[in-house]
Amino acid sequence: MTTDLGTFTTRPLDPRADAALVHGWVTHPKAAFWLMGDAKLQDVEREYLAIAAHPHHDAFIGLHDGEPAFLMERYDPVEVELKGLYDAEPGDIGMHFLVAPADTPLHGFTLAVITTVLEALFADPSVRRVVVEPDVRNSAVHALNKAVGFEVLGEIAKPEKNALLSACTREQFATATGGNA
């Protein structure tokens, strides 16, 4: 996706080659809701090796003008994260994203990132709806989710947090962003 801020793309995450980069992102204080603040480099590598080996979970590095700038995870919510916690619908896909800490924040950058992530997910014609489960206290991401078309389905209790289950259909995304998903 190309915007006024530049070009945003994704590539598969390489658990071994990208571990140090991702470790710096997930342990940064701004990533508190990622729940890996105390993780060691080996913990991050092990986590992303497990994701790479999982048949229903993938991780990607997001690039801004060719430079690593965000993390994206895609998962089958029937098998991972939300298994048994909500009424899944055919075509559901789960998503996590994390923007890398920046010395000089760019206005609109995170919105461009989440838009890129949703465009990547909706590029798969079998995806009808994206579901997310951010921490109920993460008001910044709730506002961002709303801006791209997510609708709150309700609060759910996960082992590690109370989450605000939200979903965004292809049509809601297109309406919210003025695009066509």
CATH of residue 145: 3.40.630.30
- Is residue 180 very low, low, confident or very high in pLDDT (cuts 50, 70, 90)? low
Q: What is the mean pLDDT of residues 11-34?
A: 93
Please tell me which residue, 1 or 59, carries the higher pLDDT value.
Answer: 59
Question: CA-CA distance, 71 to 25, in Å (whole number)?
Answer: 9
Span 49-98, pLDDT tens digits? 999 999 999 999 999 999 999 999 999 999 998 999 999 999 999 999 99
Q: What is the DSSP letter of 10?
A: E
What is the mean pLDDT of the segment spanning 123-148?
95
- pLDDT tens-digit series, residues 114-132: 999 999 999 999 999 999 9
Confirm if 154 and 167 have CB atoms less than 8 A apart: no
Number of domains into which the chain is organized: 1
Domain, as residue range, for 8:
2-177
Tell me the whole-structure pTM to 2 decimals: 0.92
Q: Is a pLDDT exceeding 70 seen at residue 36?
A: yes
